[in-house]
Structure 1
Amino acid sequence: MIDNALHENILLVLGLLFAMLLLVMLGQKLRISYPIFLVLAGLALSFVPGLPLIVIDPDLIFLIFLPPLLYQAAWETSWQDFWRWKRPITLLAFGLVFFTSTIVAYVSRAMIPGFTLPLGFLLGGIISPPDAVAATSVLKGVKVPRRVTSILEGESLINDASSLIVFRFALAAVVSGTFVLHDAATTFVLVSTLGLAIGLVVAYGFYLIHRYLPTTPSINTLLTFIAPYVMYLLAEEFHYSGVLAVVSGGLLLSHKSHRVFDADTRLQANSVWASVGFALNGLVFILIGLELPIAVQGLGDYSLKEAITYGLIISVIIILIRLVWMFPAAFVPRWLFRSIRTHETSPGWKGPVIIGWAGMRGVVSLASALSVPLLLSNGQEFPQRNLILFITFVVILVTLVFQGLTLPAIIRLTGIADQEERMPTDAQEAGIRLRLRRVALAHMDLHYSPDMQKNELIKALQQRMLAEAQRTGNLLEALDYDETKRQALQRYHQVLLDVLRVQREELFVLRHEDVFEEEMLRHQEAQLDLDEAKISHMPH
């Protein structure tokens, strides 16, 4: 017999998943970004009479949800773009987080009765990091410069780490009653550096497994799910940054994936990760909305009106802080360093405005607020815990819903277009395809010239690349399988797979040249994967 509590929990999870899918489809119909729609729907569901209160264990989010979501984001991030815009990404992910936490700390101490400075830093660390999924989801389907999306994606990868470090130091200060800036700064560097190192070491270990052990596509896919948990848990076990471990490890494995994954693995892993990532994100956003009753019930000495007022004021402050930060961060380095003016185009005013308005809070902020302990080490109640949780909920709601719904309109009002110095999408695709065909033809001329004279199938392959003729798969289906033609077919498979390998290596070279966008290179890699999969599954 299944335990009743377990039975109810399984039904609840399945019910939430099904409700999430229906709500996402409805949101698509209404053209509302799904994180926004799910939070609003969860908020509405929380008022349904008889619906049980859903209490989220913060460890559930930090341990189950956070590692795979960060790993997926790191895997899909272009290392070239990340490194190209490392300066603005660092200023946002570290500088803005610390600046926001400091301003929130002093404002909340001055505004809220009984709020201390360590509590203010605790709140600031909780609400300082924008949510990665919310921003990218809202920006989908809206034309913005690649610079904007690259900076937002890069910021979201590492701002969770900096905010969680601020949160930990502030929490320790509240619990112990002491805070030493020098010790905190030293610990911050140690926690960050060793977190990065652990992630890289673990990632390299998984790289060796993928490359040298006899894996299958299913094994490889499962290993990609195990990897982020190993990185996160190992770093956290030694009290280092698990977030930075997952990010650094994910970037490394993504960068080396072309050397260890075959076409079947990439196709399978991409499909599985897309579904799992979508489910995890959807569940978290709907759970955010369902947490409202818990946040309201725990206000204690504060009235609902007072708590809402504090939450709205702090929401406005963090929105203004981000907007104010953007312009000095964008232009002061250009004024100070000639090399930046030489190598980077001016961001103008439109890009900073859009990046500044895309600071929507979400999953990590809620998990951090919920992880504040109920009691201090001496057994007393943790001061202001319930108010911190409620303010966090208001900030998430205001930034996610208000900024998320208005961001597309602001993008349209600014009239921003794709101002990158790169060629248009269709030209990029044509350029990549031309480059791949040229390297394939050169490789065939150098290594398979005799085969092209004797083997009609290989000759047909050359003609297809020269004239973009009918796909060779159709020719293969018309073959009669006598021994001579079977040997010719096997040789054809060998040549074509070798040509595809050379083209994939050329894609790796193109990534380092930083001429084409990562999205277009991934698209061409997927095409090569499909061609290889078709050949690999044909009878030999």
Structure 2
Amino acid sequence: MEILESIILILSLLIIANIVSHYFVSIPPSLLQIAAGILAALFMHVKVYVDTEWFLLAFIAPILFNDGNNFPKRELWKLKGPILGNAIVLVIISTLVGGVFVKFLIPSLPWATAFTLVAVLSPTDPIAVQSIAKKAHIPDKLMHLISGESLINDASGLICFKYGVAATVTGMFSLKDATIDFFHISIIGALVGAIMIWIFNGIRLYLINQGVDDSILHAIIQIIIPFIIYYIAEDVFDVSGVVAVVIAGILNISSSRNMSAFTPEIQLVTSRTWDLVVYVLNGIVFVLLGIEIPFAMEELIHNDNINTFLATILAFAIWIMLVVIRFLWSYIYSTFSKNGDRKITLWSKTRFYDCLMSGISGVRGAVTMVGVLSLPMTIKGGAPFPSRTLLLFVASAVIIFSLLGATILIPLLTKNSAPVAYRGNTFVSDESLNDDNEGESTTTVEFTQNEASRLILEKTIKKLRAEMDEGDTAVYSSVIAEYLYDIRNLGTQNRNSQVLTHQISKRRVKGKKDAELWDICFNCELEAIEELYENNEISSDSYDIATRKIAKYKKEIVHRRYNATVEFFLGYLRRTYLQIKRWIYRSVKSDGIKQMNQDSIKISIAGAKRALTKLQELNQSDNDEFADNLIYIFQRHYEDRLELLQGRYRGRSPQFNSDRMALEVKALSYQRAFVQDMLEQGKISKLTANELRQNINYSEEVMNIDVE
């Protein structure tokens, strides 16, 4: 009963603090959550005892998994040098230098305990600084760096913290054993995380493939993944659960990116469920921090060796030390890195301010608090953990100082404030939306959902085409093309439910006509390969690989037949193999591999163009051997391949993407108006209207998720 009461109380404090934060927007919510916990401890005498194992499992696993899942992978790869430097080298330097500094400030503190304190202070918290970033113009590159390093320094810092705690508890420490063990638990932990998330991704995709698209079910599966991975890594394999969940988060199939297999409803529900979970967990951690501070202060008051005022000064000095170390590291790294002209400029005012902002932006937060609250009460032999109260108070105070420092100093350094963007739109229906209704029969006809969807898309396209002359033609064309494809999919579903309308695959052949059309397309690709080889545009090795691959595909289409489950998992294994192969190729910079990659792109482009030409001839001929919708699906397959290979979308500017997003939102507002118009005219039922509105809302929310 006490556990339930404590949970209800902490959640109530969290709610109150976040409501107050809406009236004091200049104060980070985390500070108000800490204040709520302090007030509860002072006036309600709330005391919460934390168990190390379950606390790490309950808070670390989901928070780090979500951070890894949401971080943009492309930015993670681009900034891999600075991120690894900050997350590993800076953590080691901070732990060593900071440990010596803490030992100098507090001579009575054991060496192991001093290093333990600095290790738990090394992880940074991007969530704490993001609320400040909304009001101050922090450069995107700096935010990506802070977010990226937090993924890895949470792991490296907490592993160092565990060794420090173990050395304090047992009184024994071996640098050699610790180094070997560090690499063992890190590498094996990463492998466990990668394999486990690969299994979970396969299960989720298989469920979708079998038609199990319950959004709540998929959200629950997503939520339990980090807990299972952390538990298996820690208790079954005895490796780092922290590293496992970080790697799993990075490799997880994001519900809002790169996964068209998931419906907009699944994407939306999963994303919002994760928002709720992380929102609550982060808030609980800061409330617990506030609850612990008064009790730590009370014990410090009765401590003859150190008082509260002196402990506060020590915490402030440690925070300044961490900022200085981070600033110096950032300045030195940026000075000597990426100097292609080999000219080193020791002083730069811009670099100075950027590195100073980087130092101040290293805010400590939830992960630091989770670690320090997990400190054991006793050491080997039953004696109390050395200066546990002092460590808890100093860590809490450093978190508060880092939050206050970032809140006050970052806006001063940026010298401007950016408006906070709120969700929603203010598009209002135009009077001209109903112009195309003139001349229509007044007879009431109730459409099915598919028929209504098709009509709404057609009207939206007509409206966008009418506006095209007044806007960016390329933006309008890209949005209209997507709607045309959606209309064609709806038409294909109505005419022939047996034909797949999603992306086709060389390994997914459902009928004789599919196989015959694939055979025609493969012959076209072979003709293109022969022409390239005869013109000496590709090497003999590339020619042999391409022809063998197509011959293998043709043989499989004729002779191999699997049931749906076997086919799915074989395809999943093949995609995994190809992805690993691409990663290896990307990391090996040999001229031969580069040449083969270039030849492969040439072959794919030439083959797709030749196949498209043949498909267009078939579509325009009077031959009824193949259905138009089947030919169209094959055309879409090769068009998508060309768009990808030719980089048709890669060169688009941020302004283009912004304009396209605005137009997509505007088009959705037109669709809402058309739904209401059809409902008022009695062309659709209220149930159909609600279904259509819900689909529009899901599409809009998914766009918002991608922006975030």
Normalised to the residue count of structure 2, the TM-score between the two structures is 0.59
Displacement of 1:105: 1.0
Greater Rg by CA: 2
**CA distance in structure 1 between the partners assigned to 2:264 and 2:662 by the alignment:** 9
Give the alignment partner of residue 230 of structure 2, picking from 226, 229, 232: 232
1:93-492 counterparts in 2 under 5 A? 93-213=87-207, 214=210, 215=212, 216-237=214-235, 238-254=237-253, 258-299=259-300, 300-302=303-305, 303-335=307-339, 348-412=351-415, 463=462, 466-467=465-466, 490=494
Q: Are 1:80 and 1:511, in contact at CA under 8 Å, matched by a contact in 2? A: no
1:76-91 counterparts in 2 under 5 A? 76-91=70-85
Q: 1:524 to 1:254 in 2, by over 3 A?
A: farther
Amino acid at match of 2:403: L
**CA distance in structure 1 between the partners assigned to 2:644 and 2:18 by the alignment:** 36
Q: Are 2:56 and 2:374, in contact at CA under 8 Å, matched by a contact in 1? A: no
Q: Which of 21-30 and 116-125 deviates more?
A: 21-30
Displacement of 1:504: 10
**CA distance in structure 2 between the partners assigned to 1:394 and 1:276 by the alignment:** 26
**CA distance in structure 2 between the partners assigned to 1:9 and 1:506 by the alignment:** 59
Displacement of 1:401: 2.6
Q: 1:176 to 1:73 in 2, by over 3 A?
A: same
Displacement of 1:165: 1.3
Corresponding position of 1:434: none
Q: 1:178 to 1:25 in 2, by over 3 A?
A: same
Displacement of 1:82: 0.8
Amino acid at match of 1:151: L
Q: 1:171 to 1:11 in 2, by over 3 A?
A: closer
Q: 1:391 to 1:20 in 2, by over 3 A?
A: same
Q: Deviations over 1:283-305 (max 9, x none)?
A: 22222112112222443443223
Corresponding position of 2:32: 37
Q: Deviations over 1:134-167 (max 9, x none)?
A: 0222212433322111111111111110111111
Q: Deviations over 1:252-294 (max 9, x none)?
A: 1145750542222101111222222212222222221121122
Q: 1:516 to 1:66 in 2, by over 3 A?
A: farther
**CA distance in structure 1 between the partners assigned to 2:336 and 2:145 by the alignment:** 17
SS of 2:333 mapped into structure 1: helix
Q: Are 1:458 and 1:495, in contact at CA under 8 Å, matched by a contact in 2? A: no
Q: Deviations over 1:340-383 (max 9, x none)?
A: 99xxxx98344322221111112222222222222222222222
Q: Deviations over 1:436-462 (max 9, x none)?
A: xxxxxxxxxxxxxxxxxxx98887676
**CA distance in structure 2 between the partners assigned to 1:12 and 1:128 by the alignment:** 30
Q: 1:381 to 1:13 in 2, by over 3 A?
A: closer
Amino acid at match of 1:69: I
Displacement of 1:65: 1.7
**CA distance in structure 2 between the partners assigned to 1:21 and 1:360 by the alignment:** 23
Q: 1:537 to 1:169 in 2, by over 3 A?
A: closer
Q: Are 2:360 and 2:405, in contact at CA under 8 Å, matched by a contact in 1? A: no
Q: Are 1:457 and 1:492, in contact at CA under 8 Å, matched by a contact in 2? A: no
**CA distance in structure 1 between the partners assigned to 2:368 and 2:391 by the alignment:** 11
Unaligned 5+ residue runs, structure 1?
1-5, 418-424, 426-454, 476-485
**CA distance in structure 1 between the partners assigned to 2:343 and 2:38 by the alignment:** 46
Q: Deviations over 1:369-399 (max 9, x none)?
A: 2222222222222222222222112211211
Q: Deviations over 1:30-67 (max 9, x none)?
A: 1122112222333344322x432233444443111221
Unaligned 5+ residue runs, structure 2?
422-453, 469-475, 484-489, 504-631, 672-690, 697-708
**CA distance in structure 2 between the partners assigned to 1:78 and 1:379 by the alignment:** 47
Amino acid at match of 1:289: G
Amino acid at match of 2:312: I
Q: Are 2:229 and 2:245, in contact at CA under 8 Å, matched by a contact in 1? A: yes
**CA distance in structure 2 between the partners assigned to 1:461 and 1:23 by the alignment:** 44
**CA distance in structure 2 between the partners assigned to 1:457 and 1:304 by the alignment:** 68
Amino acid at match of 1:51: H
Displacement of 1:73: 1.6
**CA distance in structure 1 between the partners assigned to 2:29 and 2:642 by the alignment:** 37
**CA distance in structure 2 between the partners assigned to 1:200 and 1:148 by the alignment:** 28
**CA distance in structure 2 between the partners assigned to 1:460 and 1:488 by the alignment:** 19
Q: CA RMSD in A?
A: 4.2
1:54-69 counterparts in 2 under 5 A? 54-69=48-63
Query: What is the total number of aligned residue pairs between the two structures?
Result: 474
**CA distance in structure 2 between the partners assigned to 1:340 and 1:15 by the alignment:** 60
Q: 1:362 to 1:244 in 2, by over 3 A?
A: same
Q: Deviations over 1:498-526 (max 9, x none)?
A: 79998999999989959677xx69x9699
Q: Are 1:295 and 1:393, in contact at CA under 8 Å, matched by a contact in 2? A: no
SS of 1:382 mapped into structure 2: coil
Q: Are 1:457 and 1:489, in contact at CA under 8 Å, matched by a contact in 2? A: no
Q: 1:396 to 1:247 in 2, by over 3 A?
A: same
Q: 1:205 to 1:115 in 2, by over 3 A?
A: same
Displacement of 1:113: 2.9
Q: 1:371 to 1:504 in 2, by over 3 A?
A: farther
**CA distance in structure 1 between the partners assigned to 2:106 and 2:359 by the alignment:** 27
**CA distance in structure 1 between the partners assigned to 2:158 and 2:643 by the alignment:** 37
Q: 1:326 to 1:55 in 2, by over 3 A?
A: same
SS of 1:55 mapped into structure 2: coil
Q: 1:461 to 1:170 in 2, by over 3 A?
A: same
**Overall identity of the aligned pairs, in %:** 25
SS of 1:191 mapped into structure 2: helix
Displacement of 1:218: 1.8
Amino acid at match of 1:253: N
Q: 1:340 to 1:86 in 2, by over 3 A?
A: farther
Amino acid at match of 2:411: P
1:506-521 counterparts in 2 under 5 A? 513=650
